[in-house]
Structures are given as structure tokens and as C-alpha cells.
Amino acid sequence: MTEKEKYRQICREAAATGIALLILIAFWLFAGFGLSGSTATIFHLPLWAAVSTVGVWIFAIVLVWVLTKFVFRDMDLEEERHG
Amino acid sequence: MAEIGSPAALLPLALFMAVMLGISFFVRWQARAGEGGFLRQYFVGNRDLGGFVLAMTTVATYSSVSSFVGGPGMAWSVGFGWIYMAVVQVTAVFLVLGIFGKRVALLARKFGAVTVVDILRRRFRSDALAAMAAFIIVLFFCATMTAQFVGGAKLFAAVTGYSYEAGLLLFGVAVIVYTAIGGFRAVAITDACCAIMMMIGIVLLFYHVLETGGGYGAIMDHIATHEPKMLEPFSSGAMPAGLYLTQWILVGICTIALPQSVVRGISYRDTKGLHRAMIIGTVVVGFMNIGINFTGILARGAMTGPVASYGGIDNIIPVTIVTVMPPTLIGLAIVGPIAASISTISSLLLVGSSAIVKDVYLHYRETQGKTTSDESLRRLSMAVTAVLGAGVFMISLTPPSLIWLINMFAFGGLETAFFWTLLLGLFWRRANRFGAFLSMGGGTLVYCLAQGLGFKIMGLHQITIGISLSLILFLVGSFLGEPEPKEVLQEFFPD
């Protein structure tokens, strides 16, 4: 990658990380406040208490995995002069 | 309290600290072969961290002793709303590494930078801004480090029966010595050990809390019957919506700008490691936050009295440890929380020292046209680290009251100062010196004033004031002032 390409890729990755944050916040809202009316229980917990804690955690891990797998690219960190 | 003065309560911690010191001396001895300059070696570990250590050191630095003591104490009182709020911290690793990780890695290599302030100085061509940034870092870091020392030593005293001062001496001196001797590499590796000990500590306490409370089912039934509010997100008003909002800002989103986190972007070897660290770090930070706070809730089964009978929220976890752990394991149980404390101190100490040595002193020497030999840099860096540590240690011996508030106060101050300056500075061409100066100076000043006067808007934590005002000031300054010259922009935005 040239310096210019690296820069563009980094901006893309940063933007994607920001979008991932928004998706996570949406899921977090749904998992806690959204599900708090449900009377279902799972493993002795109200549904919201399970999904908004362990659920959010697992959701975040999957989200980061998707980011690093499909958006992030490996690049040489040392400077290349042809850019 | 455990049997007072039982050596068994002391041994695991003493052993652990000895291992930390050993690691530091080993790292030091290895570095003697020395490649790269001393500063790069000492302050960013020669940019050689792999993914696992990068993840662990980022998590360990971020997780403080209050995540282990005050936090789960609140969970005990409030219930699942507290975990729901704490889980926003799963963002703390992937956001900073995803947004700044590669950006600062490339810039640092380009300019030979070893600190975040180096990069800011270059971006805004301002020594005054760099000096202000260094000052803010040292000031707030000292506050945070004091809180960590005090928190760790209080827990030590409450659980082992030894004195507060004995605890401070035992782990405080060791952390200062191993940081001063080993530099960043030692900090990173010991941080990884600390993170592992924290996880072991959580599992250990979790197990014994369940055991004492009569099993998971019984504890949850007890909570459902006696404390149904612990199963509601708002906990009958104990968890207002505003608290959720400010926690997202304070311990979630804005943590990307904490200099002690951002500097980790300068320290890793390659992008494969960075990507791995984002995943590992998210796994670990979630495990810790959910694990320890869940343990706090389950402690309800063992600790059924009102909060006053335990002497307040901050005493819940120390009393829980003493109540549920078999006496032989008490010594081991405190290693986790102490590890949380020292892993934060070591990183702050080093970044604080780099602010003084590199960002202030060495820069001044350079403007005078003087060069400094690697040997004198080595002596100076170690001395500054040790003196800074010793200063904080002395303050901690006679701790100021309200120390827990100081911790969060410092978090908010650093975020107010650095969030927009870094985010806009590194990703927005139009960002200029005037905007950065107004934002960092004005925002931080108003934030401190609002904290000092207890002024809040809609009852929200002052971070909301700090972060909004610093944005406004940044934009105003950037549109009023001149854009940075083309050659600077070309360096930062090759587009």
C-alpha cells in the first residue's frame, strides 16, 4: 500500500469502528430497556438482565471479529517512500 | 478480619511482587543488548508488543482498583442495572485501537514520536499546546495514581489485618521500582500478569461467593423474593437514565482519548497483533466487568444485612472476601485487586514520566540546540519515574479524603482535554492550533470549575459539560483561526 492508500484505509477502518459503536449502542438499548418488560426468565434471570450483560458482551466480540475480518486490512507500518 | 498478622495473608502478594520485580530486572538486562534509541526502548518498548500483551496491558491499565472494590459494592446494592451499565466498557479496547491504533502507529514511525504529545506538537506546531498537554497529563495522572495507591492499600488493610502503611510499602515500593527499572516493556509484561491474576481472583471469589450463599439458584431466589428491585434496570430509581448516559460517555466512548490508552497504539509490532488485541481485549474486559460485578450481586447470598452494617459500599467487597474465602486463600484473593491497582499505576507513572522527560525537558534542550546522550537520558528517565512515583507515594501515606471522587474527576478531565484534540486533530484537516488550544485549555478549565463548584446541568456528571464545551470551542477556534500550513497537512493527510 502507498502512504495515500494506507491513510484512506485507516479512515475507512476508523469510520467502521464508529459505526460498530452505534450498532452496539442500539443493541444495548434493545437488550436492556427494550427487553425489560418481558417476564421470560433464563437461567434464573429476567431476560433483559441476561441479554443486556452477557449478551452485549458476546455481541461486541462478534462485532469486533467482523470488523477485523472484513474491514481491517494488514499493512506495513514502516514507511514506504513511493506514495 | 483474618487472623491479624497471619503471614499466610501476606505471602502470595509478596511472591507476586517479587515476580514482577524479577520480570523488570530481566527485561532491563535483556535490553542491555539494546537496539533503537533509549527513549524508544524505555517509553514504548521498541514498538515490539504482540497482540496478546497489547490487549492485556490495555485492559489492565484501564481497569482500576475501583472496578474491583467500589464497583461490585454498588452492584451488591443496586443489582443487574449496575452490570448493564458497566458492560458499556466492552468498548474500551476496540474503540481506541480501532480508531487510533494504526493512525498513531504510522505517525509515530514517521516522526520518530514516542508520546502522544509528540504527535500533537507536530500536528499543531505548538510548544505551548504540548506543554499544556504534558501539564494536564502529569496533574491528572498524579490524582489517579494516588487514588489507586489508596484504594489498594485500604483493601489490603481491611482484608489482611496488616496496616495501611504496610500494604502501601509492600506493593507501592515494588511498583515504583519495577516501572522505573524496566520501562514500558516491563510495564506491559507485568500488566499482562496482572490481568491474568485479576481474572483468577474473580473466578476464585465468584466460586466462594456461590459456595457460601448456598448455590446459584438459592441466591437468585433470595434476591427475587427480598430485593426485586435488583432485577429491574432502573432499580427503583437507584439507576437513573442520566447515569447510564454519562457512563457511556465517561467510561465508554471518551476513553478512546485517554493518553495512557492511545500511547499503546505506538507500542505494537504489526497490524496482525493489533487486530488480535482488539478481539482478545474485548473478551477480557467483558469477562472482568461482568464477572466481578456479577460476583458483587451474588454476594447478596452471603451478606444479607443492610449496607450500613458493613460500613458502606466500599467495604462490601473487603468484607465479602473475609467472609467467604477460606483463611488460607485470603492472601491469594487480594492479589487480583492489588494487581488492578498496580497495573494502572505503572502505566500512568511511565506516561507521566515521558511527559516530563520527553515532552518538556528534552524538547527544551533541543530548542537550545543541545543534544543529550543516551546514557544521561537513561539516568534521567529512571530518576524522574522514581521521583514521580515517590511523590505520589508520599501523598498516599496521608490520603486526602474523597479519594474515590478524584479518580473519576481525573478521568473526565483527561477526556475533556484530549478527546476532540486527538479525534479532530488526527482526522479533520480543518482542525487548527487555535481550536485545539481553546478546546484543551478552556474545556478543561471549565470542567474543573464545574467540578469544584458542584455545578451540574440536569443533574448529569460534569463530563457532559466538559466534552460539549470543548467541542464548541474547538469548532469556534478552527473556523476563526487560520488552517495549518500545507506542508503540515500534507504530512498528516496525504490524501
Give residue-wise pLDDT tens across range A4-20. Answer: 999 999 999 999 999 99
Q: Does A71 touch chain B (CB under 8 A)?
A: no
Residue A62 within any structural domain of the chain: yes
**Within-domain flag for A18:** yes
Say whether pLDDT at B3 is over 60.
no
User: What is the residue-averaged pLDDT of chain B?
Assistant: 91
Across the interface, whether the CB atoms of B80 and A49 are under 8 A apart is answered yes
Residues A77 and A45 sit within 8 Å (Cβ to Cβ): no
Q: Does the beta carbon of A19 lie under 8 angstroms from any beta carbon of chain B?
A: no
Nearest CA in chain A to B93: A64
- Per-residue pLDDT at B33: 54
Least confident residue range of B55-64, B210-219, B450-459, B474-483: B450-459
Three-class DSSP category at B460: strand
Q: What's the pLDDT tens digit per position in B35-53?
A: 668 888 889 888 899 999 9
Domain encompassing residue A30: 3-71
Cβ distance B157 to B164 under 8 Å?
A: yes
Domain count, chain A: 1
Q: How far is it, in rounded angstroms, from Cα A24 to Cα A6? A: 27
Mutate to test the interface with A, among B44, B49, B84, B274 (most CBs of A within 10 A): B84
Average pLDDT over residues B422-433: 96
Q: pLDDT at position A83, please?
A: 40
User: Which of A52, A61, A67 is the closest to B84 by Cβ?
Assistant: A52
| Chain B interface, best mutation among A53, A54, A59, by max B CB count within 10 A | A53
Instruction: Judge whether residue B4 has pLDDT over 60.
Output: no
Any idea which of A65-74, B71-80, B168-177, B308-317 has the lowest mean pLDDT? B308-317
Specify the pLDDT at position A82. Answer: 45
Would residue A83 count as lying in a domain? no
Least confident of B198-207, B311-320, B334-343: B311-320
Could you write out the three-class secondary structure of B377-425? HHHHHHHHHHHHHHHHHHHHHCCCCCHHHHHHHHHHHHHHHHHHHHHHH
- B49 phi, psi to nearest 5 deg: -70, 145
Express each pLDDT in B78-121 by its tens digit.
999 999 999 999 999 999 999 999 999 999 999 989 999 999 99
Residues 6+ apart with CB under 8 A from B147: B64, B65, B66, B403, B404, B406, B407, B410
Cβ of A78 under 8 Å from any chain B Cβ? yes
- pLDDT at B40 (0 to 100): 87
Angle at Cα B115 formed by Cα B365 and Cα B178, nearest 5°? 95
Domains defined along chain B, listed by start: 7-402 (1.20.1730.10)
Q: Which of A21, A29, A65 to mutate to test the interface with B (most CBs of B within 10 A)?
A: A21
Question: What's the Cα-to-Cα distance from B379 to each of A77, A81, B212, B373, rounded to whole Å?
Answer: 30, 36, 52, 10
C-alpha cell belonging to residue B67? 472496578
Show residues of chain B in contact with A33, CB under 8 Å: 233
A41: contact with B, CB 8 A cutoff: no
Q: How far apart are CA B165 and CA B265, in angstroms?
A: 36
| The pLDDT of residue B374 | 86
Instruction: Look at residue A29 and tell me if it is in a domain.
Output: yes
What one-character-per-residue DSSP string does B145-170 give?
HHHHHHHHHHHHHHHHSS-HHHHIII
Does residue A81 sit within a domain?
Answer: no
B65 has pLDDT over 90: no
Q: For B495, which of A8, A21, A65 is closest by C-beta distance?
A: A8
Average pLDDT over residues B472-490: 94
CA distance B411 to B418: 11
Q: B45 with B192: CB under 8 angstroms?
A: no
Does residue B2 carry a pLDDT above 50? no
> Does A78 fall in a domain?
no
* Average pLDDT rounded to a whole number, residues B56-77: 91
Q: A30 in a domain, yes or no?
A: yes
Residue with cell 539494546: B34
